[in-house]
Amino acid sequence: METPSCQCRPSYDDCKKTAEWLLAQIKQRPKVAIICGSGLGGLADLIDDKIVFPYKDIPDFPTSTVAGHAGQLVFGKLQGRDCVCMKGRFHFYEGYSLHTVTYPVRVFFLLGVETLIVTNAAGGLNGSYNVGDIMLIKDHINLPGFGGQSPLVGHNDDRFGVRFPCMSDAYDRNLRALAIQAAHEENCGSFLQEGVYCMVGGPTYETIAESNMLQKFGADAVGMSTVPEVVTARHCGLRVLGLSLITNKAVTDYDSNEKANHEEVLATTNVRAGDLQRLVRNLVTKV
């Protein structure tokens, strides 16, 4: 069991060992990393000249246990650019510490990655959002962080980043502008939104009271991932772009018979995944 004092936090040398093992297996030197959310692993299928590593075969790498997350690290070229793609991420609710959840991001940093693109499936809180919309994340609310659950808790290694990193610029403004341009070029502009993502711990979906509270907090979408990876990436100095696929609408009315469920999430991603893939593919050429 992980102890509160150390939470089995991976060291710089642990991350370096994993990175060096990967670098010894590949010729690519990726500058862009992509993390695929629930049902969005098809992004990795767009990569050419693929080299695929199951997570279980990578030294010290965690493994994903959630449906819709294949558990593969894919290296190759996307639109001619060297990329690495996580086909499935790790979650706090799986029982991992946030240090473990974000282990791949530190490995990406040591591989030489400079830009991180994160995608997720999220519930829509903003009443003007529709299921199937793509939300460009402009900011986030880190609810677990309010309670001290952060991937940066514990000893700070300056080789990764500063002790107190700024988060007011977590989502790169220039990357967001490029994403908007790419969305219009791919005819995705009519269902592109821009808003605030809120992370909750999960694995339960939100109660009606919780959804109403999050709306009052200023959240436009809610999910159970992404923020720890973004915090870690910014700590390491990576530029970040975040995209949420709105797969269901959060229930905010006590008279509603709607119920959030994971099957609905995966069904919506199947419908809209192709649009998100085209957007990301176009965006990578601009980064």
Show which residues are catalytic: 38, 69, 91, 93-94, 121, 224-225, 248, 262
Residue 48 to residues 1, 60, 114, 166, 171, Cα–Cα distance (Å): 40, 26, 20, 36, 28
Residue 12 to residues 8, 73, 98, 99, 236, Cα–Cα distance (Å): 13, 20, 16, 12, 12
CB 282 within 8 A of CB 237: no
Q: CA–CA separation, 202 vs 52, rounded Å?
A: 30
Structure tokens at 76: 């190759």
Phi and psi (nearest 5°) for 256?
A: -75, 145
CB 186 within 8 A of CB 275: yes
DSSP 8-state secondary structure symbol assigned to residue 14: H
Alpha helices for 147-261 (secondary structure H): 173-185, 208-217, 227-235
